[in-house]
Amino acid sequence: MSGEDSGIHGPPKGEEWSMENEHGIVPRRPRVVIVGSGFAGLQAALHLADRPVDVLLIDRRNHHTFQPLLYQVALAALSPGDIAQPIRSIFRNRRNVEVLMDEVVGIDTTAKSVHLRSSATMPYDYLILATGSTHSYFGHDAWEPYAPGLKTVEDAIEIRRRILLAFELAERQALEHGSHPPLNFVVIGGGPTGVELAGAISDISRLYMREDFRHIDPSKAHVIVVEGAPRILASYPEDLSRKATEELHHLGVEVRNNAQVTDVQPGYVMANGQKIESVVTLWAAGVQASPLGKMLGAEMDKKGTIFVDPYLNPAGHPDVFVCGDLANVTENGHRIPGVAQPAMQMGTHAAKEILADLGGKPRAPFHYFDKGDMATIGRHSAVADVKWPFHAHMSGLPAWMAWLTIHIYFLIGFRNRIIVLLHWIWMYFALSVGPRLITGSQKLPGWAKLIGAESNPDEKWLDPNSPGAVETPPS
């Protein structure tokens, strides 16, 4: 973080915010517009609820999603409603909070207003931007249809569709033709999301579906994690990264480090010049910030995150706060990661800064309280870099129990906590997951190529000059 000021903003102490109408100048409450209902935006709104401000929370969707458990929706362990909560129900009894389902398409910092997709314009006294991030394909956006990422409920449902459909198509192929292509699942990226997806795919194939098919053996499915760095979980201590690799190997997952992906096509991935056939390819390799930084006109890095000062303000805009994945925040020489924990703290801090202004008090700089990181690997293992309330590197079942407890605690809504806990207990002891529903299209990118069928007009190669495209598909 860079830049210092007096830390005192808002109307002068002793004065009130005001507005002009037909009755002249009358007092009014300051208006706080929050864009995005992820972890940062939700915490900001909750902290400002029932305070002497009017809050407008704007989001493209009508629900808050608990993103750390999205991978369990993608693997049919949980239903979307178990990890999502309607925003309006969260603020039902908070009368000073309004919710608007719309999309911000422009920001006018001079007029202090935001422009919406619906053509409406909403004024603000304070603006909190917390729109998070999306997938980054590092300049290869054409890969997205063939390697979906995991950021939203819609992403999770699509990944679930592809994974379950792969087993169904293999069963049909084996029944009708006596054999099927290898069930290879390729996860590109060895961060927490990639590791959790890989472990969950292994679990569902080895344990939860092993008795459900008659012509295929789901346990023979092969999961491959392709990571460009020398090790998976690169942001974790080396001993935990090594332990995670061991746990994945125990689950039958193949980990390929130092593997640079150069092409993604329907039915295969090219990495280090080698073609890896894949019935389903998933992307967990990178993220980029939402485009609001460009709308704001603030200084950004190459990932689109906005540089902010110690108070989470972009340069020259003390009435604008940037939080969560959208903020480029550095503390003690280290970039604060774009995960749930710092996002929640930033949202709360932005709200406190606004309340400090209203009370005529100086602002305080933001400091990140790092409690640690954890990632789950399969049904009863995890790794955890614990930094509070004690320092420890945990792995295996104890880390998994800690992971389970923390995620239950931070779920929004008492009902969701109870239902998810009961689901996990049932899944653990009965070896049964939630409803494995396939909705939407019954076409799987690349399947026709893998079974050697005639060219499918719906499955065209992204690049006919791809090294893998010129090879003869297997019969």
Active site residues: 196
Residue 204 near residue 434, CB atoms below 8 Å: no
Q: How many residues does the chain have?
A: 475
Instruction: Give the SS3 label for residue 326.
Output: helix
Cβ partners under 8 Å of residue 277, min gap 6:
181, 182, 184, 267, 268, 450, 474
Name the token pair of 208: 């939860």
**Cα-to-chain-centroid distance, residue 413:** 19
The burial class, CB within 10 Å (0-12 / 13-18 / 19+), for 257 is middle
Q: Which of 10, 4, 51 lies closest to 348, judged by CA?
A: 51
Identify the DSSP state of 110. T
Token representation of residue 40: 């940062």
CB atoms within 10 A of CB 461: 17
Parallel, antiparallel, or unpaired: how do β-strands 382-386 and 392-395 relate? Answer: antiparallel
Residues 140, 145, 149, 154: is their CA dihedral positive or negative? Answer: positive
State both tokens at 242. 């090594």
Distance CA 296, CA 306 (A): 9
Query: Can you list the alpha helix ranges (DSSP code H) found in 133-237?
Result: 153-177, 192-203
